[in-house]
Amino acid sequence: MEHKGEVLFNKDQIKEMVAEMGHILTEEYRDKNLMVISLLKGAFVFTADLIREIKLPLVVEFMTTSSYIDESTKSTGFVNILQDVNRDIRAFDILIVDDIIDSGYTMKHVYDVLSSRGPKSIKTCTLLDKPSRRQTEFECDYVGAKIDDYFIVGYGLNLGDYYRNEDHIFVYKE
């Protein structure tokens, strides 16, 4: 496809990064009651791999959030929860999982909404982070890698809902 730019992370690099995160999370959540809450759609590929690297009992729930309009590469700043978690989270240690943090609006909003429901604890995890783009105070607890200000696709990340099935992560070229 003509829009495929530089490869930022190939399949093996992603695998290694996810395994390392899973290893850390396995230690951190050993005596906890882990519920992974994955933010659809972008985080579904990462979540599927990450949970298999966490060698503990856990449950997975999904939330669908949206802050982009159609084929835009910028957040509107308004985060919509299109599909919520329909169960009581008070008995759980929540780990919110997203594919990438940009402005921080999505994670911040989901964190605030879920915190207000009184879970035992709540932390955040992202495969990638673009700290230079932050519009909020938000700091993520577990980050696979920090990257510069590129719009990237592949491994669940999309543009206009395409490229999610690519097994490497690359820069989208206009």
The yes or no reply on residue 129 touching ligand IMP (CB under 6 A) is no
Compute CA distances 127 → 1, 82, 91, 173, whole Å.
Answer: 24, 22, 26, 21
Nearer to ligand IMP, 5 or 33 (CB): 5
Q: Does 39 bind ligand IMP (CB under 6 A)?
A: yes
Binding partner of residue 119 among ligand IMP, Mg ion, none, CB under 5 to 8 Å per kind? none
* C-alpha triplet 86, 87, 88: angle, nearest 5°: 140
C-alpha to C-alpha distances, 28 to 2, 82, 85, 90, 133, nearest whole angstrom: 42, 30, 23, 19, 28
- Determine the 3-state secondary structure of 60 from DSSP: strand
Which residue number, 30 or 74, has a Cβ lying nearer to ligand IMP? Answer: 74
| Strand, coil or helix: 73 | coil
Binding residue for ligand IMP (CB under 6 A) from 152, 155, 166, 170?
Answer: 152
Of the residues 49, 93, 98, 102, which is catalytic?
Answer: 102
Q: Contact positions toward ligand IMP, by CB under 6 A?
A: 39, 42, 67, 75, 98-106, 151-153, 157-158
Annotated catalytic sites, by residue? 102
